Amino acid sequence: MQRSTVLKRDDRANLVFPAIFQRRMRSLAASLVVVGTILLSNSGGSCAATSLLNKRAPDFRRADLHNSPVHLADYRGKIVLLNFWATWCAPCLYEMPRFVEWQSKYGTRGLQVLGVSMDDSDSPVRTLNRKLHINYPVMMGDERLGELYGGILGLPVTYLIDSRGVVRARFQGETDLSRIEGQVKILLSSPSASPLR
């Protein structure tokens, strides 16, 4: 019996592309699928977040770390700096002492800083709250609250909300704090307007 010299398709591929090359190609293809998925989800979140500009900020009710109620609508008439952060986020930890300073400096002029931790547990948040002597309400966030604000896909994310409850600015990632402070000053100096209907 004569042995066939015709190679199956898989056998030909193994001759042309050694096994190690095939594994690398499969790994690269899997990586590209993951990156593509992330990019698609980020672009959706970014569009949703951008669409909040010049619209009423989504309202929410939460309890802060001291179990005091926080209702965003109660801050109408004030400029709200709404900061989404986490204890493991280095840029967040850099910003927070400045937010503490701004709450002291501009609080009497109408600024209210609100912090939303996106940590999974409140234990490290409570520790950091004590360490930094945070002088504004800090509450625990979750995916549902993040989705209200366009999906919080990277931290920190900070929204500036005017006295009428309208989102006027959004900052994501490591941001020049003087830019944020400049926007706060502009909003504080603007004459109060009646709430949107």
**What does the pLDDT read at residue 108?**
97
**What does the pLDDT read at residue 153?**
85
Q: What is the CA radius of gyration of the chain?
A: 25
Cβ neighbours around 43 below 10 Å, total: 11
Question: Which residues of the chain fall short of a pLDDT of 70?
Answer: 1-50, 191-197
**What does the pLDDT read at residue 18?**
55
**What does the pLDDT read at residue 190?**
83
**What does the pLDDT read at residue 119?**
97
pLDDT above 70 covers what percent of the chain? 71
**What does the pLDDT read at residue 51?**
84
pTM over 0.85: no
pLDDT above 90 covers what percent of the chain? 68
- Pairing state of beta strands 157-161 and 167-172? antiparallel
Q: How far apart are CA 135 and CA 130, in angstroms?
A: 10
Beta strands in 106-194 (DSSP E): 111-117, 138-140, 157-161, 167-172
- Predicted confidence (pLDDT) per residue in 78-136, tens digit: 999 999 999 999 999 999 999 999 999 999 999 999 999 999 999 999 999 999 999 99
